[in-house]
Amino acid sequence: MRASQLLIPTMKEDPADADVASHRLMLRAGLIRQVAAGIYTWLPLGVKVLQRIQEIVREELEASNAQEVLMPVVQPASLWKESGRWDEMGSEMARLHDRHDNEFCLSPTQEEVVTDLVRREIQSYKELPRNLYQIQTKFRDEIRPRFGVMRSREFTMKDGYSFHLDQDNFNATYQEMHHCYSRILTRMSLKFRAVDADTGNIGGDNSHEFQVLAESGEDLIAYSTESDYAANVEKATTLFPTERPAPGTAELTRIDTPDAKTIDAVAQLLGADATQCIKTLFVDGVADDDNSEAPAPLVALVLRGDHELNELKTEKLAGVASPLKMADPARIKAAVGAGIGSLGPVGLNTSASLILYVDHSAAQLTDFICGANTDDVHFTGANWARDSALADEQIRDLRNVIEGEPSPDGKGVLAFARGIEVGHIFQLGTKYSDAMNATVLNAEGRQQTLIMGCYGMGITRLVAAIIEQCHDDNGICWPDSVAPADVHILGLNYGKSAEVTAASDRMYDTLRAQGLRVLLDDRKERPGIKFADADLIGIPHRVTIGDRNLKNGEVEYRRRTAADSELMTPDAVLARLTA
């Protein structure tokens, strides 16, 4: 590639409205240009990177026995209505009509189309399992497209779907895809974690996200310092104590606490630590289906004073309304006799209309402080068994994890890091095959519903994620495996100096003949501009050819990530680059 013939519109200054390094650098290095909010054109160097990423993805997927297909971006509404997602997807899905007024959408994902394909084309267990993937454009009308191609509206995704008859067979493929994703990201030299995640609107039972660690990441993950345990913070679990606490010794004492409505205020007033207090929140329960007259129960949730309620975990508890809704203060007052700020578990009469759950960390406390269910009064010296008996099933994991607490697998402690989700694999179970009646004949000759998995990877987002991890103050530092070229030759005074021109062309031809990807800066630009652009574009190896060094039979070689360059003969450079 000769720079003089390529569209590489580099920019000297940081563009406005680019908040993260990858977005800034992708614009400055001339990889992308914005067309509309969240919609981009990819320029030649950007396309090279995309192609290299896709090559790695294809190689690893084929090695894992997945087969490439190509499904349409424009999809009929009828399939989405069958799965029920036409209504569920809301305004993130772009919809359109054809000239006959038939409804279509721009594909945000492809479960419906692939399930339709498989139910038509696969009839027997003998043809299973099948693992189909594509690399295709997706459109999602994101509320807040931002960070360039990291969260765009039009983007390229690798999406794969597998089909099975039995769970063990599915599990093997899921594991294989887990390994495959790890191999792909490792080949891109990325630091990443596979985390236990929530399934969102794709649905299904279980899922893992592949998070590239980066300060600018939108997700917060908790991981063990000593094991593979990692989860989105909202999903991370806490280590259950194996034993209940020894009984406390203090006496239960009522204390007036006027104006102390928060844990901090109560703790300060009583000279205690927030970890010695408990807080009690009330949320709505689910109404009893059989008795529509009865109001929905109230659910009391008890946490240690310094802990935060985790909505995701709480919503899943029996009797709790989902989505979680804080209870009306007037209802709480009527049921318990006190307002928010003076609530507690002592003397709460649990019944069909009042359910109580206690986080296990709160259940471990002895001689604790809690609201007395009388306005402006608290108890000190409260103890569970004596003052408020708990059944085992009331003690649950209700809270967000905090940094430094033991990892739930008992190995190491939890640390937090920000991550960019570049991949997501799901166990879909029979969600789509049930809804769309995708069955095959099993070995006994009966129709059986297919079990599905789905596996997404953001190809365009990966480019941004790689740059987030691999850049310095001067520009991008591409990992070798995805760089738009292997070697950047800077011909200083190219075109004017016959020696430089001849030596640069010779180096260019020789390296290319060895199978290397080479970018030759043959532009009529000042050396300073060539150096700055080379740093910005970030090709791993740089060879600078100038008159002064050529007189001594030398050129300058520098690795993009090295602090200094070395003077070498052209032959020595060739030997190093082709070793």
| Between 46 and 248, CB nearer to ligand ATP | 46
| Between 156 and 238, CB nearer to ligand ATP | 156
| Residues 283 and 261 sit within 8 Å (Cβ to Cβ) | no
**Binding of residue 461 to ligand ATP (CB under 6 A):** yes
DSSP-derived 3-state class of residue 509: helix
CA 333 – CA 281 distance, rounded (Å): 12
**Binding of residue 456 to ligand ATP (CB under 6 A):** yes
Which parts of 165-292 are beta strand (E)?
A: 192-197, 206-213, 219-224, 230-232, 253-256, 278-284
**Binding of residue 170 to ligand ATP (CB under 6 A):** no
**Binding of residue 486 to ligand ATP (CB under 6 A):** no
**Binding of residue 422 to ligand ATP (CB under 6 A):** yes
DSSP string, 81-118: HHHTHHHHTGGGS-EEE-TT--EEEE-S--HHHHHHHH
The tokens for 130 are 């099948």
CB of 423 to ligand ATP, least distance (A): 5
Selected from 119, 164, 235, 424, the binder of ligand ATP by CB under 6 A is: 424
Helix or strand run (H / E) with residue 236? none
**Binding of residue 142 to ligand ATP (CB under 6 A):** yes
| Between 95 and 360, CB nearer to ligand ATP | 95
CA 50 – CA 13 distance, rounded (Å): 25
**Which strands, in side-by-side order, build the sheet including 298-304?**
278-284, 298-304, 354-359, 395-396
Selected from 155, 174, 223, 368, the binder of ligand ATP by CB under 6 A is: 155
Query: Per residue in 83-98, is it b (16+ CB within 10 Å) or e — as a string?
Result: bebbeebeeebbeeee
**Binding of residue 421 to ligand ATP (CB under 6 A):** yes
**Binding of residue 547 to ligand ATP (CB under 6 A):** no
The tokens for 488 are 């950047």
| Residues 515 and 523 sit within 8 Å (Cβ to Cβ) | no
CB of 312 to ligand ATP, least distance (A): 14
| Residues 420 and 148 sit within 8 Å (Cβ to Cβ) | no
CB of 69 to ligand ATP, least distance (A): 17
Selected from 157, 236, 324, 539, the binder of ligand ATP by CB under 6 A is: 157
**Alpha helices for 514-543 (secondary structure H):** 527-537
**Binding of residue 140 to ligand ATP (CB under 6 A):** yes
The site that binds ligand ATP (CB under 6 A) totals a number of residues, namely: 17
CA 397 – CA 410 distance, rounded (Å): 16
| Between 137 and 225, CB nearer to ligand ATP | 137
CB of 477 to ligand ATP, least distance (A): 22
Stretch that binds ligand ATP, among 232-240, 250-258, 416-424, 564-572 (CB under 6 A): 416-424
| Between 285 and 419, CB nearer to ligand ATP | 419
CB of 431 to ligand ATP, least distance (A): 14
Decide the pairing of beta strands 354-359 and 298-304: parallel
Stretch that binds ligand ATP, among 28-36, 119-127, 300-308, 419-427 (CB under 6 A): 419-427
| Between 140 and 558, CB nearer to ligand ATP | 140
**Binding of residue 335 to ligand ATP (CB under 6 A):** no
Gyration radius (Cα) of the chain, Å? 30
CA 219 – CA 230 distance, rounded (Å): 12
CA 266 – CA 92 distance, rounded (Å): 45
Stretch that binds ligand ATP, among 41-49, 150-158, 227-235, 552-560 (CB under 6 A): 150-158
CB of 185 to ligand ATP, least distance (A): 11
Between CA 99 and CA 107, with CA 101 as vertex, the angle to 5 degrees is 90
**Binding of residue 344 to ligand ATP (CB under 6 A):** no
Q: Amino acid letter at 260?
A: A
**Binding of residue 423 to ligand ATP (CB under 6 A):** yes
| Between 341 and 423, CB nearer to ligand ATP | 423
Q: State the residues that interact with ligand ATP by CB under 6 A.
A: 109, 140, 142, 151-152, 155, 157, 200, 202, 421-424, 456, 458, 460-461
